[in-house]
Amino acid sequence: MTTKIDPSTLKITDMRFADIDGAPKRCTLIKLYTNQGLIGYGEVRDASSRTYAAMLKSRIIGANPCNVERIFNRIKQFGGPSRQGGGVSGIEVALWDLAGKAWGVPVWQLLGGKFRDQIRIYCDTDSEGGGRDMGKALKERMDSGFTFLKMDLGLELLIDKPGCLSAPLGFLEKMREYKRTVFSTPHGSIDPRAMRGEAYELFSTAHPFTGIHLTEKGLDFLEQYMADVREVIGYEIPLAIDHVGHIPVEDCLKLAKRLERFNLAWMEDPVPWQMTNQYVSLANATTVPMCTGEDMYLKGSFKPLFESRGISVVHPDVLSTGGILETKKIGDMAEEYGVAMAIHMAESPIACMAAVHVAAATNNFLALEVHSVDVPWWEDLVKGLPKPLIQKGYIQVPNAPGLGIESLNEELIAEKIHPDFPEAWGSTEQWDKEWANDRQWS
- Rounded Cα distance between 4 and 340, Å, is 41
Residue 289: pLDDT band (50, 70, 90) is: very high
Alpha-carbon dihedral angle through residues 168, 174, 179, 180, given to the nearest 10 degrees:
150
The domains located in the chain, with CATH, are 7-105+407-431 (3.30.390.10), 118-396 (3.20.20.120)
**Of residues 194 and 18, more confidently modeled:** 18
Residue 438: pLDDT band (50, 70, 90) is: confident
Element (H, E) at 43: strand 39-44
What pLDDT sits at residue 182? 61
What pLDDT sits at residue 188? 40
pLDDT at 52 over 90: yes
CB atoms within 10 A of CB 60: 20
Residue 198: pLDDT band (50, 70, 90) is: low
Average pLDDT estimate for 108-115: 98
Angle at 272 between CA 334 and CA 203, to 5 degrees: 145
What pLDDT sits at residue 29? 98
3-class secondary structure, 191: coil
The residue type found at 136 is: K
What pLDDT sits at residue 126? 86
The dihedral built from the CA positions of residue 348, 78, 36 and 430, taken in this order, carries a sign that is positive
The residue type found at 179 is: K
pLDDT at 189 over 50: no
**Of residues 58 and 184, more confidently modeled:** 58
What pLDDT sits at residue 1? 46
- Rounded Cα distance between 370 and 198, Å, is 32
DSSP states of 364-410 as a string? TEEEEE-S-TT-TTGGGGEESS-SSSEETTEEEPP-SSBTS--EE-H
pLDDT at 190 over 70: no
What pLDDT sits at residue 82? 86
What pLDDT sits at residue 236? 96
Q: Are 99 and 65 in contact (CB under 8 A)?
A: yes
pLDDT at 168 over 80: yes
Average pLDDT estimate for 167-172: 88
pLDDT at 202 over 80: no
The answer to whether the bond into 24 is cis (omega within 30° of 0) is: yes
Q: Are 299 and 328 in contact (CB under 8 A)?
A: no
What pLDDT sits at residue 218? 98
Average pLDDT estimate for 31-43: 98
For the chain, the maximum distance between any two Cα atoms, rounded to a whole number of angstroms, is 69
What pLDDT sits at residue 178? 74
- Rounded Cα distance between 226 and 292, Å, is 21
Q: Where in 104-238 does DSSP place strands (E)?
A: 118-122, 124-125, 149-152, 165-166, 213-214
Residue 181: pLDDT band (50, 70, 90) is: low
Q: 266-278, pLDDT tens digit by residue? A: 999 999 999 999 9
pLDDT at 358 over 50: yes
Task: For residue 44, list its beta bridge partners.
Answer: 28
Q: Are 289 and 260 in contact (CB under 8 A)?
A: no
pLDDT at 17 over 80: yes
Task: For residue 151, list its beta bridge partners.
Answer: 125, 241
Angle at 16 between CA 424 and CA 35, to 5 degrees: 130
What pLDDT sits at residue 3? 66
Distance of CA 112 to the CA centre of its chain: 23
- Rounded Cα distance between 155 and 216, Å, is 13
3-class secondary structure, 169: coil
CB atoms within 10 A of CB 423: 11
Residue 66: pLDDT band (50, 70, 90) is: very high
Nearest partner of 368 among 150, 135, 187, 43, judged by Cα: 150
The residue type found at 272 is: P
Q: Are 98 and 65 in contact (CB under 8 A)?
A: yes
Average pLDDT estimate for 359-372: 97
**38-52, 198-212, 320-334, 396-410: lowest mean pLDDT where?**
198-212
